[in-house]
Structures are given as C-alpha cells and as structure tokens.
C-alpha cells in the first residue's frame, strides 16, 4: 500500500509475553551505547538501509557500524543476504517490541531527525514523499505539522496517479486532521471525499462532503454539495438530500451565469432532482445548465453539464436528443478518462433501448477499456451490460457467469449496495432456465406486497402459476403501485403487470396498461443499467391487444421480432414468435401460421434451453387441444359467451361480472373473432351447439363463491 509507512511504528501490535521477554533478554546483551542505533532502525521501518542509518545516526560512523554488527549478533536484526539487500527485523512483532520500549518523546525526536535528514540528504530515496509524510506526521507535536500536511497531500496525489484511491482518501483525511487552517482543512476533506468516491466508498465520501457543506466557505460548500450528489447518484440513491444541500449551497454564491462552479452546481441539481422523481423539472434545469455552459465556452464545463443531462432518465421521451447529447459528451472526453465511462455507459443503455446494435457493441468495447483503466464500479457496470446482453441473447450460462461477477463487484458499494438488484437479475435468469421450480416450496402465496417488492412478488406468482396470490398482488398494485412512472423500475413494473394481466385473462387491466406501454412502442424495455433488460415493449402490447381483442397483435409481434433481430437478441426473438403462436392458437386453433411461428420459436429455444419459451409453446398447444367445445376461449370469455347466449347486453354483462362495459365489449369482440361468428346471435348458437350455454348454473355458482 502506498501509505504503508504511515502504519509502521505505531505500537499497535499486542505482543505475547514470550516475545517481549525474548527481546528484552537480547537487549540485555546489547551495549547501551548501541541502543540508540537499534531504536533508530526500528523507527525507520521493517527493512533498514545502512546508508540511511549512517546518514541519520547521531553517533560517529564507526560507532554506528559497530552497533549494527552487535545488533545482528544478538539476533535483533538479520543482515543483508546479498549485495544491495537491506537489514531486516526477523519479525514484525520483534520490531514492535523494540518500539514499545522507546519513550514517546524520544520517538518524536527520532521521527523528526529521520524526516529532516531524508528531506535534506536523500532526494532519491525510495518512496521519499510517502516516508516524509509518515515521519513528519509522527513528529507534528514538535512543530512539523505544516510539513506533514504538505507531504501527506503530495502522497495522496501520488496515490491517485497509481489508482490507489483508498490510500489517497486516507492520506487526505489525515492531512485534514493535522491542518490548523480551516479553509485548508475543508479543501483537504473535499479532496478526500473525491478520492473515496473513486474508491467506491460512497458512504464515507458523502459523510465528508456533508461536513464541508455545513461548515466550509461558500464556494467549498458548493463543491461539497456537487460531490455529495455524485456520491449519491453512483449507487442510485434518492436525490432529496442532495437537492437540499445543492440549493442551500448555491444560494450562498452569486448566481452568475458565467461562473463555472455555479453552472456545474445547477447541472448537479438537475440530476439530483431527477432522482427525486421529478424528471420534467430535472430536464428544464439541465437544459438551462447546458445553455449556460455553451455560452461560457469552456469544454470541461460543457462536458460536466452534458454528463448530468444524459443521466437523468431512460424514459422514451427525448431519447433521440439524449443520444445526440451523449455523442457530443463522448467527443469531449479523453479515451480512458472516467467521464468517458459515463458517456459510453449511457450510450450502451440507450443503444439497447432503441435497438442500435452497432452503437451498442461499440459502446460496450469502450466500456471494457474504461473498466480496465478504472476498475471498481466500472467493472461492476460492465458485468451488468454483459449480463443483459447474454440474457437477451439467450446465452443463459454466460448470463449466469456475468451475474455472479456482477454480484461480487457490487460489494464494492459497501452499505450502498442494493441486494434487490442482484435478486431481480437472478430471477430473470431463473425464469428462463426453469430454475424457479426449486424455490416453489419456499413460496406460501401469503407474502405481503408491503413487506416485499410488489412487482417481483407478482412476477414470481405469475411464473409459478399461482392465480389467487397473483390476483391479490395485482389488485394491490393497481391500487397502490401505478404512481411510479418516473422511477427507474417503471419499465419492469409495466412488464410484470402486463404478464400478470395476460396470465389472469384480465382484459380490464390489460386495457388500463396499454396507454402506458404504448409510450415504449418500438423500443426495448429496461430498468436500471442492464439490471432488467426485458426486450421489446411491442411484445407485451401484442399480448395485451390479443387479450382485449383489439389492435394488431401480429403487427406488434412482428415489430418485436424485428427489434430482437437488430440487437442479436435470440431470447427476445423466441418470445415474440411464441407470443404470436399463442395468439393465433387463441383465435384460430391449429392454424398453419400458429404452427409455423411455434416451430420457429422452438428452433431457437430448444438448443438454448429457453424453458419459459418452451413452456409457452406447450401451454398454447394444450389450450388449443383442450377446448373442443369452445375453441380457444379463455375462462372469462366462456363466462361472457354464456351471458350472450342468455341475451344480455354488454351493459348487463358488465354489471353481472363486475367489469367495465368497455371490457365486456372487448370480450364480445374477441369471442366473435375466435368463434367465427358475425353477430351475437351466431355467438349464442355457438354456445348452445357446444354445450357452453348449459354452464350457466355453474357460472352463477362460481360468481356467488367469488362474492362470498
């Protein structure tokens, strides 16, 4: 570690009595005149350079040389094993035992003498800056505090150059502790927080930023608030506290449109505002910051504003402009700089959403370079991208491997790590491999949507085929979970809601979800940075339209398949084909087109082991073969056709089944399509001919049970 010297000589090791006794016994054999040389060697470090000892020792050269020989003879030091080697203590605890015997004031004077001599006479000494930082820090009680701060700050800079950000953070904090100047102390704390952010220790960084934001000078408060926002955004935390700090700090400096710090503060405020859910307000703030940055003319300030503006949201609105800004932002960054990482990360995500395979692959390659240069959270995000691309490509074993690497890397976020992210990714893999069956015994069906993440609970019940629990959670979400349109998990909420509506044959919910999903038409759904890549929204829209008996489901599936092909997403392509086959089996059981789509889907799914796709195909075929009396009518449609046969109007059907009149009309249209009837009379005849009308009593008993 770059600050290893700062940990030496601190008397922090608790020694066994036997070791202390052994060292004391050997010291008795050492001439007291040689004792200062031994103490000097112990303070110098675990390994000792003879030239430095001779230069620093207060004793004459011949006495110092004799002392070194005597110390070796007592076994307290080991001699060099070859030319160019150093003396060394046989064990760290042996050196510690000697240090413990050095009086505190004596140790201070030794540290001071070492630091002054090294600084004056050994300009080429190895790791000179770090050693001076250590020794001057230890001697600060003797008036060396300013020198300690100077060398600690320089050592921190060297640590940053070597990508040792944790060392840099510790060194900067230590310099701040020693500094007697309030402004310098605040500046050093901001630098320490910057370095903890780069080390992915964002909780520590936020703590330091918040301290400065409360006590620093006005401009330092703004810098600290900007840093706090960045250390909140990286792990995806809500932005309310960052907004509070930024607004307070910005009020303390003139709102001069030409001040770069003010412009950067407004850009950070935009991103923090987005993390509170107010994306519209955030975009207005970002547009203003970009306009001010362009007027200012500094490319670094413009890059800062663009960086914030490009990371506000993944929603469809404004995605074309977002991609243009990302291209401009990328052009302003250095190839291996951290800001290049921010540019290509968002390019990768947006490229997936719009289905731009060339941009997706180029951005992923660039992200590899950034991860190699910066590591840490960039490596984590790279693994998330690899996970998402492997999953959508149907390479499930590869997706599982990337997921394990991502989960390992997520630990770098420490207390900010969200276990729900890895759990969602694990669920997405398991539902494609069939692995959810292994946890079926752990699911009671009584889990609470207020104590668990409701969308995930709904998705699990849906995939396990648990109708009543799914119905319960779907109803809860419809009542409580549809106010999250600006949250990062809104796309996955929509997808899971749509799947549940289809599973439950809930045309009313399907009709309610369609306008929200329509906003994503032509795009891939994704929540987070490849946390949940969900494929084309058009596939879900096709499923909802098929259920409602409206729109053009086959056109939707065709669009979904085309988007999957453009991004080499085999899983998404197979799902689109399977959904098309399921739709055709519902409206025209056994049709050649249904078989053709099913065969194409199976050709993709079987070699890749796509269990969910294969189950969809098997269920669709079973539905077609298992309804000789009613074609492919859903249970709800059978209820409706029974009421049509009784002569009820759409309004009466809606009242009887406690659904909307619009939903009742949708069911009637679907029935006419599936049965080939041209009017309600023919549909009623169909019901009588196949014995469906005879189920009226069964239906009424079922309704009574439901109401009870």
Q: What is the DSSP string of 482-545?
A: S--TTSTTHHHHHHHHHHHHHHTT-HHHHHHHHHHHHTTTTSEEEETTTTEEEEEHHHHHHHHH
Q: What CA–CA distance (Å, rounded) separates 353 from 125?
A: 55
Evaluate if residue 490 carries a pLDDT over 50: yes
Question: How does residue 5 score in pLDDT terms, banded at 50, 70 and 90?
Answer: very low
Q: Which residue has the higher pLDDT, 629 or 241?
A: 241
Q: Where are the beta strands (DSSP E) in 562-695?
A: none
Question: How does residue 255 score in pLDDT terms, banded at 50, 70 and 90?
Answer: confident
Q: What pLDDT digit, counting tens, does each position of 227-242 carry?
A: 999 999 988 888 999 9
Q: What CA–CA distance (Å, rounded) separates 418 from 647?
A: 56
- Average pLDDT score over residue span 442-457: 93
Evaluate if residue 284 carries a pLDDT over 80: yes
263 Cβ contact partners less than 8 Å away, ≥ 6 residues apart: 257, 289, 292, 293, 296, 301, 304, 305
Instruction: Indicate the helix (H) or strand (E) that contains 47.
Output: strand 47-48
Evaluate if residue 628 carries a pLDDT over 50: no
Q: What pLDDT score was predicted for residue 10?
A: 45
Question: Per the structure block, which two tokens stand in for 599?
Answer: 């065969």
Question: Per the structure block, which two tokens stand in for 141?
Answer: 């009680």
Q: Which residue has the higher pLDDT, 639 or 432?
A: 432
Q: What CA–CA distance (Å, rounded) separates 582 from 625?
A: 12
Question: How does residue 547 score in pLDDT terms, banded at 50, 70 and 90?
Answer: very high
297: left (phi over 0), alpha (psi -120 to 50) or beta: left
Q: What pLDDT score was predicted for residue 142?
A: 96
By mean pLDDT, which of 186-195, 436-445, 518-527 is the weakest? 436-445
Question: For the stretch 205-223, what's the b/e string if a residue is b when 16 or more beta carbons lie within 10 angstroms of its beta carbon?
Answer: bbebbbbbbeebeeebbbb
Q: Does residue 673 contact residue 552 with C-beta atoms inside 8 Å?
A: no
- Average pLDDT score over residue span 681-699: 71
Would 479-618 and 635-707 be classified into the same CATH topology? no
Q: What pLDDT score was predicted for residue 506?
A: 93
> What is the β-pairing status of strands 532-536 and 47-48?
unpaired
**88 pairs with which residues across the strands?**
47, 78
Percent of the chain with pLDDT over 70: 92
Q: What CA–CA distance (Å, rounded) separates 665 from 680?
A: 11
Q: What CA–CA distance (Å, rounded) separates 540 from 10?
A: 64
Interhelix angle for 202-215 vs 218-233, to 10°? Answer: 160
- Average pLDDT score over residue span 287-308: 95
Dihedral (CA of 165, 166, 168, 169) sign: positive
| CATH for 635-707, options being 3.10.20.30, 3.40.50.2300, 3.90.79.10, 1.10.10.10 | 1.10.10.10
Q: Does residue 557 contact residue 542 with C-beta atoms inside 8 Å?
A: yes
Residue closest to 623 by CA, chosen among 583, 672, 677, 683: 583
Residue closest to 394 by CA, chosen among 581, 623, 578: 578
Question: Per the structure block, which two tokens stand in for 653?
Answer: 């059907």
Question: Per the structure block, which two tokens stand in for 612?
Answer: 């969910």
Residue 504: CB atoms within 10 A of its CB come to 20
Q: What CA–CA distance (Å, rounded) separates 32 from 596?
A: 97
Q: What CA–CA distance (Å, rounded) separates 224 from 233?
A: 14
For the chain, state the CA radius of gyration: 35
CA atoms in the 13 A half-sphere facing the CB of 696? 14
Interhelix angle for 507-518 vs 490-503, to 10°? Answer: 150
Evaluate if residue 69 carries a pLDDT over 80: yes
Q: Is 619 exposed, middle or buried (0-12, 13-18, 19+ CB in 10 A)?
A: middle
By mean pLDDT, which of 82-86, 486-490, 632-636 is the weakest? 632-636
Chain mean pLDDT for the chain: 89
Q: What pLDDT score was predicted for residue 624?
A: 58
Question: For the stretch 580-608, what's the b/e string if a residue is b when 16 or more beta carbons lie within 10 angstroms of its beta carbon?
Answer: bbbbbbbbbbeeeebeebbebbbebbeeb
Which residue in this structure is represented by tokens 């049509």? 644
CATH architecture of the domain 479-618 equals: Alpha Horseshoe (1.25)
Q: What pLDDT score was predicted for residue 136?
A: 97
Evaluate if residue 70 carries a pLDDT over 60: yes
Question: How does residue 428 score in pLDDT terms, banded at 50, 70 and 90?
Answer: very high
Question: How does residue 417 score in pLDDT terms, banded at 50, 70 and 90?
Answer: low
pTM exceeds 0.85? no
Q: What CA–CA distance (Å, rounded) separates 15 from 612?
A: 61
Q: Which residue has the higher pLDDT, 143 or 622?
A: 143
By mean pLDDT, which of 407-421, 491-505, 568-582, 657-671 is the weakest? 407-421
Instruction: Indicate the helix (H) or strand (E) that contains 88.
Output: strand 87-88
Q: Which residue has the higher pLDDT, 95 or 631?
A: 95
Q: Does residue 545 contact residue 514 with C-beta atoms inside 8 Å?
A: yes
- Average pLDDT score over residue span 489-502: 95
Q: For the chain, what are the domain ranges?
A: 479-618, 635-707
By mean pLDDT, which of 274-288, 368-382, 489-503, 617-631 is the weakest? 617-631
Q: How far is CA 543 from CA 385, 405, 463, 550, 580, in A?
A: 27, 34, 16, 10, 9
Residue closest to 644 by CA, chosen among 675, 602, 617, 598: 675
Question: Per the structure block, which two tokens stand in for 615?
Answer: 């189950």
Question: Per the structure block, which two tokens stand in for 543?
Answer: 């499923």
Evaluate if residue 12 carries a pLDDT over 60: no
- Average pLDDT score over residue span 7-19: 50
**532 pairs with which residues across the strands?**
527
Q: What pLDDT score was predicted for residue 359?
A: 95
Q: What CA–CA distance (Å, rounded) separates 177 from 183?
A: 12
Question: How does residue 478 score in pLDDT terms, banded at 50, 70 and 90?
Answer: very high
Residue closest to 507 by CA, chosen among 342, 635, 632, 351: 635
Residue closest to 478 by CA, chosen among 443, 440, 441, 504: 504
Evaluate if residue 702 carries a pLDDT over 50: no
Q: What pLDDT score was predicted for residue 622?
A: 66
Q: What pLDDT digit, counting tens, does each position of 209-223 carry?
A: 999 999 989 999 999
Q: What pLDDT score was predicted for residue 308?
A: 95
Evaluate if residue 9 carries a pLDDT over 60: no
Q: How far is CA 418 from CA 39, 203, 314, 374, 423, in A?
A: 50, 13, 20, 22, 9
Q: What pLDDT digit, counting tens, does each position of 363-395 carry?
A: 999 999 999 988 888 899 999 999 999 999 999
Evaluate if residue 695 carries a pLDDT over 70: no
Q: What CA–CA distance (Å, rounded) separates 559 from 541?
A: 11
């Amino acid at each position: 570690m770059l600050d290893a010297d700062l940990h030496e000589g601190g008397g922090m090791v608790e020694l066994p009595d036997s070791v202390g006794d052994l060292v004391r016994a050997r010291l008795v054999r050492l001439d007291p005149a040689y004792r200062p040389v031994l103490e000097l060697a112990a303070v110098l470090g675990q390994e000792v350079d003879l030239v430095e000892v001779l230069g620093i020792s207060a004793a004459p050269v011949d006495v110092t040389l004799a002392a070194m020989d005597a110390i070796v003879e007592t076994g307290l030091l080991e001699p060099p094993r070859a030319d160019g080697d150093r003396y060394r203590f046989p064990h760290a605890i042996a050196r510690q035992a000697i240090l413990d015997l050095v009086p505190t004031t004596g140790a201070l004077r030794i540290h001071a003498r070492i630091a002054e001599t090294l600084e004056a006479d050994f300009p080429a000494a190895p790791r000179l800056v770090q050693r001076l930082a250590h020794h001057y820090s230890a001697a600060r009680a003797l008036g060396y505090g300013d020198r300690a701060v100077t060398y600690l700050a320089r050592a921190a800079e060297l640590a940053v150059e070597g990508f040792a950000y944790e060392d840099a953070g510790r060194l900067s904090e230590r310099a701040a502790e020693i500094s007697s100047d309030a402004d310098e102390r605040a500046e050093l704390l901001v630098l320490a927080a910057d370095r903890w952010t780069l080390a992915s220790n964002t909780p520590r960084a936020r703590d330091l930023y918040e301290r400065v934001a409360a006590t620093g000078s006005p401009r330092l408060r703004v810098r600290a608030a900007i840093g706090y926002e960045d250390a909140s955004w990286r792990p995806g935390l809500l932005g309310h506290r960052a907004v509070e700090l930024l607004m307070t700090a910005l009020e303390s400096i003139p709102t001069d449109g030409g001040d770069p710090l003010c412009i950067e503060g407004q850009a950070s405020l935009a991103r923090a505002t987005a993390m509170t859910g107010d994306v519209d307000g955030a975009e207005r703030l970002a547009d203003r910051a970009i306009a001010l940055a362009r007027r200012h003319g500094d490319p670094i300030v413009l890059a800062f504003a663009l960086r914030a503006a490009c990371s506000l949201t993944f929603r469809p609105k404004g995605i074309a402009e977002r991609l243009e800004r990302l291209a401009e932002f990328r052009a302003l960054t250095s190839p291996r700089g951290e800001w290049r990482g921010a540019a290509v990360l968002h390019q990768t995500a947006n490229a997936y959403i719009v289905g731009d395979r060339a941009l997706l692959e180029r951005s992923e390659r660039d992200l590899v370079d950034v991860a190699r240069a910066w590591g840490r959270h960039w490596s984590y995000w790279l693994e998330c991208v690899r996970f998402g691309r492997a999953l959508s490509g149907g390479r499930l074993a590869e997706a599982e491997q990337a997921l394990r690497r991502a989960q390992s890397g997520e630990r770098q976020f420490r207390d900010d790590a969200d276990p729900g992210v890895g759990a969602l990714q694990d669920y997405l893999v398991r539902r494609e491999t069939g692995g959810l069956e292994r946890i079926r015994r752990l699911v009671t069906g009584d889990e609470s949507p207020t104590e668990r993440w409701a969308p995930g609970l709904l998705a699990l019940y849906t995939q396990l085929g648990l109708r009543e629990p799914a119905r319960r959670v779907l109803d809860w979400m419809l009542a409580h979970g549809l106010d999250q349109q600006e949250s990062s998990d809104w796309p996955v909420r929509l997808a899971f809601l749509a799947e549940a509506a289809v599973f439950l044959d809930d045309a009313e919910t399907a009709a309610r979800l369609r306008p929200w999903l329509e906003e994503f038409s032509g795009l891939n759904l994704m929540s987070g940075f490849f946390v949940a890549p969900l494929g084309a929204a058009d596939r879900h829209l096709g499923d909802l339209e098929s259920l409602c008996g409206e729109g053009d489901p086959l056109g939707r599936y065709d669009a979904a398949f085309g988007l999957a092909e453009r991004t080499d997403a085999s899983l998404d392509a197979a799902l689109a084909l399977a959904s098309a086959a399921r739709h055709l089996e519902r409206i025209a059981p056994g049709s050649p087109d249904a078989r053709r789509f099913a065969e194409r889907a199976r050709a993709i799914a079987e070699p890749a082991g796509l269990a969910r796709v294969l189950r969809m195909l098997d269920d669709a075929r079973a539905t077609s073969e298992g309804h000789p009396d009613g074609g492919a009518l859903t249970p709800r449609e059978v209820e409706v056709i029974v009421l049509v046969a009784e002569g009820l109007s759409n309004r009466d059907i809606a009242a009887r089944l406690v659904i909307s009149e619009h939903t009742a009309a949708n069911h009637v249209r679907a029935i006419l399509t599936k049965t080939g009837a041209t009017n309600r009379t023919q549909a009623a005849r169909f019901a009588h001919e196949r014995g469906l009308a005879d189920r009226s009593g069964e239906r009424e008993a079922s309704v009574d049970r439901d109401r009870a």
